[in-house]
Amino acid sequence: MSRRERFRPAVLALALVSALAAAACSGDAQEADRPAPAGESERATSWPNEENTGATGPYRVIQGRTLTRDGAVLENVQIEGTLTIRANNVTLRNVLVRANSYYGILIYGTGTVIEDSTVAGTNPDTMAGIAAIEGGTFTASRIEVVGVEDGVRLADDCVLRDSLIHGLAGDPTSHFDGP
């Protein structure tokens, strides 16, 4: 049995937990089962899967970097390496991070918003797709995290909704965690 087949039940369970948690936080657990209202995209209303989460391109390719400007907006880019956020109220939209080190996105600032983005670990040393540390906070919606040991490391006041964490990867000693 392949590694992907072994973890498929866990992936489905994480997607289900993410969707149920989002529905429960809205106060209406039935909301996730309703069809999309007229004019509203299915991407925003169906269970998280590979078709309705993550970045979709096209992208401008840039190298990993540190953002230090409050209110910065980064969109439609593919980042090769780690993105470190040391600013407040940063927005990431339609971003693909190909993480080749310990973290994909490392957040120190508060109020970061991540939408329709993907973090893909590219080597066995990628520990977490997204991590908030030292008071960092974020709200992430419709993200896809794949190929990392720990999907997303949440801190106080972080929100993760309508997102897919799957294909966790590491070495034989790894202990896999989703959110």
In a domain, 175, yes or no: no
Q: What is the mean pLDDT of residues 68-80?
A: 97
* pLDDT greater at residue 138 or residue 100: 138
- For residue 175, what pLDDT is reported? 66
Query: Quick check: is 178 in a domain?
Result: no
Greatest alpha-carbon span in the chain: 49
Categorize the per-residue pLDDT at 79 as very low, low, confident or very high, splitting at 50, 70 and 90.
Answer: very high
Query: Does residue 171 form part of some domain?
Result: no
Within-domain flag for 65: yes
85, two tokens: 């956020």
63: β partners: 80
For 130, residues 6+ apart whose C-beta sits below 8 A from its C-beta are: 103, 104, 105, 107, 114, 119, 138, 140, 143, 145, 151, 152, 153
Over residues 149-175, the mean pLDDT reads: 88
- Please state, in angstroms and rounded to a whole number, the distance separating the CA atoms of residues 162 and 145: 12
In a domain, 177, yes or no: no
- 179 part of a folded domain: no
pTM, full prediction = 0.74
Per-residue pLDDT, averaged over 154-175, amounts to 88
Q: Is residue 172 part of a domain?
A: no
Q: In which domain, by residue range, is 127 found?
A: 3-166
122: in domain: yes
Q: Give residue-wise pLDDT tens across range 132-161.
A: 999 999 999 999 999 998 899 999 999 999
- Kindly indicate the confidence band of residue 168, based on its pLDDT and cuts at 50, 70 and 90: confident
Highest-pLDDT range among 6-10, 125-129, 144-148: 144-148
Least confident of 13-22, 69-78, 87-96, 136-145: 13-22
**How many independent structural domains does the chain possess?**
1
